Amino acid sequence: MSSQDPSELFRQEAQELLEQLEQALLDLSERRDDQDLIDSTFRALHTIKGSGSMFGFDAVAAFTHYVETAFDLVRKGTVPLTEEMVTVALAAKDHIRNLIEHADAATEAQGGPILSRLERAVDAASGGSAGAPAAAGEAVPQDVPVAATGDASSAPQTAWHVRMRLPKDCMATGTNPLLLLDELVSLGEARVTALIDTVPPLDVLDPFDCHVGWDVHLVTAKPKSAIEDVFLFVLDEMELLIGPAQDNATPVPDQAAVQVEAAPEVPAVAETSAAAKPAEAKTPAAAPRAAGVAKSEAAAAKNNAAGSIRVPAERLDELMDRVGELVIAQSRLKQVAASTADIQVKAIAEEIERLALELRDTTMGVRMVPIASLFGRFRRLVHDLANELGKEISLTTSGEETELDKTVIERLNDPLVHLIRNSIDHGLESAEQRQQTGKSAQGNIHLSARHSGDKVLISIRDDGRGLDRQRIQAKAEENGLLAPGTKLSDSELFQLIFQPGFSTASKVTNLSGRGVGMDVVKKTVEGLRGNIDIASTQGEGTVITLQLPLTLAIIDGLLVRVGNGRYVIPLSAVEECVELPASEEQRSSGRNFLNIRGELVPFLRLREMFATKQPPDMFQKVVIVSSGDIRVGLVVDQVIGDHQTVIKSLSKLHAKIGTFSGATILGDGTVALILEVAHLVARGQQRDERLRAAV
Amino acid sequence: MTQLDGRTLEVLTLELQGEVFALEATQVYEILDQTQITEVPGSDPFLSGLVNVRGKVVPLADLRLKFDMPQTAATIDSRIVVIDVMIDGEPVTAGILADKVNEVTELTAAVLQETPKLGMKWRPEFIRCIGKHGSEFIAILDIDRIFAEHQEAAVGMQASGLDQSAA
């Protein structure tokens, strides 16, 4: 049994359930009559309530109870589901999360208005006639399925044979088989037989497990669905067969087995595409279920559970640190091995090099998370913003399976939220405006992710009004960011919106000014060693593309020497290495250009920048690096070779030096600095401009 | 200093150009032999180096600059003292260069005196208090203060430093 804190266990479980609930609700807002979704919403609510009261989160249980009651009415068809109810339910879901995170009286008090709003919504939906008092404080009996009596009394009695087997660990998750049996017995006349064939011998028996299954012969007037309802919350894990009983009442499990549809756990990936094509998305999710029998499904669920484990993020970080140290130690070994004549040592060093690199790749793979987890969060954002602004917006996504380092994903959340808010607030027009310009009333935000080399491209595309070149130019000139009359290319001009304090919005809505600004977005992305591109066509929309590295932890680097100092240049930025022509070497710094196949490339002498005192090497080398579409040469004394670079960030004390993005530890244990290419390129460009101005 | 009343203070004593200083022992992680120091071009001379401390990249400070002492080459006695400094309320690991590290010793409250405002060639705010050990007076350093001072000054210095190198 696990020694984890039970309330922590509940928090984790609730976290997942709340996410499921949110996804289901968002799907429901598009397909309000989807019974599967209503059921899974109800189930999630019920489980939160049940586990909440079990673990002592009484406020959570009490509040959730009312929401659950409302959805029970929907589930039974008493009340149709309205858009308002979905919206209130989303607010309720947020409130439940709050209750779990900060359980205090003040938080609890916020629940009242939500419940009364829910009550009104339910009343409105039922046409006021049914008068279902959802939140009136009147407790609806908890054993919901039994309450679903209807007018079944007149129905003829049927004999059913029910065979049930719960998963072994069901007691640990709070399921009580006796309660299930009691509920079953209360449906009619029942005869229960225990199945003890799987009970292990005493010496290997784990008293915490449930080893017994049951056969129940049940004569009842209730329909089969009433029996199924008893097992509503354990269906996913259990083995259940319900069939009409034979006259002699012998259990015939296989012949008349009826497969009970399990909970439609649509994965996030399928769901997002479901937003675009509801009909298509339903098929893949439903098909495999229809084919399988209950037993194999239970087995599959079990396999799934064993196939993945939950690991705290810090442990992954620790693992990555250890691997980083191993890679450093390995490169030391490689140096030692290179200087020895011992064949055996060399062989082992090679073997260890291979293993260390494989281990590094595997570890980085472990940290990779599909971006779907991030995209999923934005559905809610778009839904809320659409309501708030009264715009019709659809969110479509693609490439959710693209994997990125988990740290990158976490740090991307805020910038992406800001970019999406911006697109919705400033980019998309109102429905009327859209129709006037011949567009569909519904605006579209498309999120996509894809790999491109060792980078991941994430783009946010809207089909709104696009960026206004003139306005940006005017605003930039007004703010003194641009000399009047300067001609810039589109992409250069659009980069200006990332300047601090730059805003073309003529009026401040309640969306702008919340959270981070565009300059912070750019900083965050650059902090992840990524960059941002904007493309926009006026009247047709804007595409903002973030280009990000796959991982933050380890890069391939090119090790160079300047004077006594060794530096690492990220290999992804390096285009080529050339020798500095002797003619250029003689020249004073009057003209720092290289002719690379007919193209002029400005270069920077790192010796000068770093104020190196040692005499220069005879033949200076130039490493041509690029950032965006700009190339700059860096003059170094020696190109040493490629280097597996484990990135260590610089401390706060050195954070202000823009030239270096971090440091690494070399094979001999010394520290080498990693050059920040974007910064150097910017420096090169400045020099370039200065020189041109001088000419 | 009043907060030191009634308790003893455990300190590490070290020498900078023959002068004995002390650091609160609780701030000290470990003492390393002189290793390879990597220079950071364009940084403040006070914090111009980086060292590898058990796989971590740690900035190295030269306190001698804060006390207007000459920077002499490392000797066989030179050590790096790895300490924790509070910067903006967060602990940052840093190394400081010492010409010699003496011992860890206890100073009782009775021998601790407030920093005199006069009679010292060093800036009084860098010294937390003065303790007496044997016949010697020991200045106990206010390390957090020394680094904080650096942070404030750093912005201006860097800007001018970059301009020079870019020119």
B90 contacts A665? CB cut-off 8 A = no
Q: Which CATH number characterizes residue B49's domain?
A: 2.40.50.180
Structure tokens at A642: 């490629």
**A-chain residue closest to B39, CA distance:** A565
**Residue range A369-549 in CATH 3.30.565.10:** yes
Least confident of A476-480, A654-658, B157-161: B157-161
Name the more confident of A133 and A320.
Answer: A320
Inform me whether the pLDDT recorded for A633 exceeds 70: yes
Asked whether residue B165 is assigned to any structural domain, the reply reads no
A668 contacts B87? CB cut-off 8 A = no
pLDDT value for A2: 44
pLDDT value for A590: 56
Number of residue pairs across A and B with CB atoms under 8 Å?
A: 85
Question: What is the distance in angstroms between the Cα of A12 and the nearest Cα belonging to chain B?
Answer: 30
Q: Which residues of chain B have pLDDT under 70?
A: 1-7, 109-113, 115-120, 149-167
Residues of A in contact with B166 (CB under 8 A): 609, 683, 686-687
A609 contacts B166? CB cut-off 8 A = yes
Name the more confident of A85 and A559.
Answer: A559
Range of the domain at B146: 2-160
Torsions phi, psi for A407 (to 5 deg): -65, -40
Inform me whether the pLDDT recorded for A264 exceeds 60: no
Straight-line distance from the first to the last Cα atom of chain A, in angstroms, rounded to the nearest whole number = 78
Q: Out of A611, A663, A664, whose CB is closest to B165?
A: A611
Give the C-alpha distances (Å, rounded to integers) separating A679 from A267, A378, A526, A606, A657: 42, 32, 10, 13, 10
The arithmetic mean of pLDDT across residues A128-134, rounded, is 43
- According to DSSP, the residues that pair with B30 across neighbouring strands are B82
Inform me whether the pLDDT recorded for A509 exceeds 80: no
Report the C-alpha gap between A224 and A475 in whole angstroms: 69
- The distance of Cα A48 from the centroid of its chain, to the nearest Å, equals 22
Question: What is the distance in angstroms between the Cα of A642 and the nearest Cα belonging to chain B?
Answer: 20
Report the C-alpha gap between B81 and B53 in whole angstroms: 11
Least confident of A240-244, A358-362, A602-606: A240-244
For an interface test with B, give the residue of A606, A607, A668, A671 to mutate (most B CBs within 10 A).
A671
Helices (H), A308-430: 313-338, 343-366, 372-389, 406-422
Report the C-alpha gap between A382 and A371 in whole angstroms: 17
Asked whether residue B167 is assigned to any structural domain, the reply reads no
CB-based contact A79:A69 (threshold 8 Å): no
Report the C-alpha gap between A622 and A576 in whole angstroms: 8
Inform me whether the pLDDT recorded for A17 exceeds 70: yes
Residues of B in contact with A563 (CB under 8 A): none
Asked whether residue B8 is assigned to any structural domain, the reply reads yes
Asked whether residue B66 is assigned to any structural domain, the reply reads yes
The arithmetic mean of pLDDT across residues A605-614, rounded, is 84
User: What three-state secondary structure class fits A267?
Assistant: coil
A656 contacts B57? CB cut-off 8 A = no
The arithmetic mean of pLDDT across residues A599-626, rounded, is 85
Question: What is the distance in angstroms between the Cα of B126 and the nearest Cα belonging to chain A?
Answer: 18
CATH topology of domain A313-367: Helix Hairpins (1.10.287)
A659 contacts B52? CB cut-off 8 A = no
Residues of A in contact with B45 (CB under 8 A): none
Residues of B in contact with A686 (CB under 8 A): 166
Least confident of A1-15, A179-193, A218-232, B29-43: A1-15
Residues 70 to 89 of B: which have CB under 8 A from any A CB? 87-88
The arithmetic mean of pLDDT across residues A530-544, rounded, is 86
Task: Output the CA torsion sign for A578, A583, A585, A587.
Answer: negative
**CA nearest to A425, candidates A518, A493, A490:** A518
Which of A51-55, A207-211, A298-302, A464-468 has the highest mean predicted lDDT (pLDDT)? A464-468
Report the C-alpha gap between A393 and A385 in whole angstroms: 9
**A-chain residue closest to B38, CA distance:** A671
Pick the CATH number of A554-694 from 3.40.50.200, 2.30.30.40, 3.40.50.2020, 2.60.40.10: 2.30.30.40
pLDDT value for A691: 64
Domain count, chain B: 1
B52 contacts A670? CB cut-off 8 A = yes
- Label residue B120 left, alpha or beta by phi (over 0 means left) and psi (-120 to 50 means alpha): beta
Q: Assign A568 a pLDDT band (cuts: 50, 70, 90).
A: very high
Average pLDDT, chain A: 76
3-state SS string over A522-584?
HHHHHHCCCEEEEEEECCCEEEEEEEEECCCCEEEEEEEEECCEEEEEEHHHEEEEEECCHHH
Tell me which amino acid residue A69 is.
T
Asked whether residue B27 is assigned to any structural domain, the reply reads yes
User: Buried (b) or exposed (e) across A465-493, using 16+ Cβ within 10 A?
Assistant: bbbeeeebbebbeeeebbeeeeeeeeeeb
For an interface test with A, give the residue of B34, B35, B38, B46 to mutate (most A CBs within 10 A).
B38
Which of A207-216, A499-508, A536-545, A582-591 has the highest mean predicted lDDT (pLDDT)? A536-545
**B-chain residue closest to A329, CA distance:** B55
pLDDT value for A143: 40
pLDDT value for A525: 85
Asked whether residue B166 is assigned to any structural domain, the reply reads no
Report the C-alpha gap between A244 and A251 in whole angstroms: 10
Pick the CATH number of A147-260 from 3.30.1490, 3.10.450, 3.30.70, 2.60.40: 3.30.70
CATH topology of domain A6-142: Four Helix Bundle (Hemerythrin (Met), subunit A) (1.20.120)
Question: What is the distance in angstroms between the Cα of B83 and the nearest Cα belonging to chain A?
Answer: 13
pLDDT value for A296: 46
pLDDT value for A570: 87
Residues 33 to 72 of B: which have CB under 8 A from any A CB? 35-36, 38-43, 47, 50-52, 55-59
B47 contacts A654? CB cut-off 8 A = yes
Q: Assign A295 a pLDDT band (cuts: 50, 70, 90).
A: very low
Helix (H) or strand (E) holding A163: strand A158-165
Which residues have CB under 8 Å from A389's CB, separation 6+? A424, A425, A509, A511
Q: For chain B, how many helices (H) and strands (E)?
A: 1, 12
**CA nearest to A541, candidates A385, A427, A419:** A427
Q: Out of A321, A654, A672, whose CB is closest to B59?
A: A654
A672 contacts B147? CB cut-off 8 A = no
For helices A372-389 and A6-30, what crossing angle results, to 10°?
Answer: 60
A652 contacts B87? CB cut-off 8 A = yes
**CA nearest to B144, candidates B65, B69, B70, B90:** B90
Report the C-alpha gap between B116 and A236 in whole angstroms: 76
Structure tokens at B66: 């804060």
Percentage, residues of chain A above pLDDT 70: 79
Residues of A in contact with B43 (CB under 8 A): 654, 657
**B-chain residue closest to A612, CA distance:** B41
Report the C-alpha gap between A603 and A605 in whole angstroms: 7
Question: What is the distance in angstroms between the Cα of A608 and the nearest Cα belonging to chain B?
Answer: 7
pLDDT value for A501: 66
Residues 104 to 143 of B: which have CB under 8 A from any A CB? none
Which residues have CB under 8 Å from A78's CB, separation 6+? A126, A130, A132
Report the C-alpha gap between A639 and A451 in whole angstroms: 30
- According to DSSP, the residues that pair with A196 across neighbouring strands are none
Tell me which amino acid residue A23 is.
Q
A657 contacts B42? CB cut-off 8 A = yes
Structure tokens at A320: 């990555």
Structure tokens at A82: 């309205």
The arithmetic mean of pLDDT across residues A529-546, rounded, is 86
Which residues have CB under 8 Å from A187's CB, separation 6+? A146, A218, A220, A222, A226, A227, A230
Name the more confident of A635 and A680.
Answer: A635
pLDDT value for B60: 93
Residues of A in contact with B35 (CB under 8 A): 669-670
Report the C-alpha gap between A131 and A124 in whole angstroms: 9
Residues of B in contact with A663 (CB under 8 A): 38, 50, 57
> What residue segments make up the domains of chain A, in order of their start?
6-142, 147-260, 313-367, 369-549, 554-694
The CB density around residue A29, as the number of other CB atoms within 10 Å, is: 21
CB-based contact A27:A90 (threshold 8 Å): no
Q: Assign A142 a pLDDT band (cuts: 50, 70, 90).
A: very low
Structure tokens at A574: 């390096």
- A contact set with B (CB within 8 A): 321, 324-325, 328, 564-565, 608-612, 648, 650-654, 656-657, 659-660, 663-665, 668-673, 683, 686-687
**CA nearest to A110, candidates A65, A63, A57, A50:** A63
Asked whether residue B43 is assigned to any structural domain, the reply reads yes
SS3 content of chain B, % helix, strand, coil (to 5): 25, 45, 30
> What is the tens place of the pLDDT at every residue in A325-362?
788 788 778 888 888 888 999 999 999 989 988 888 88
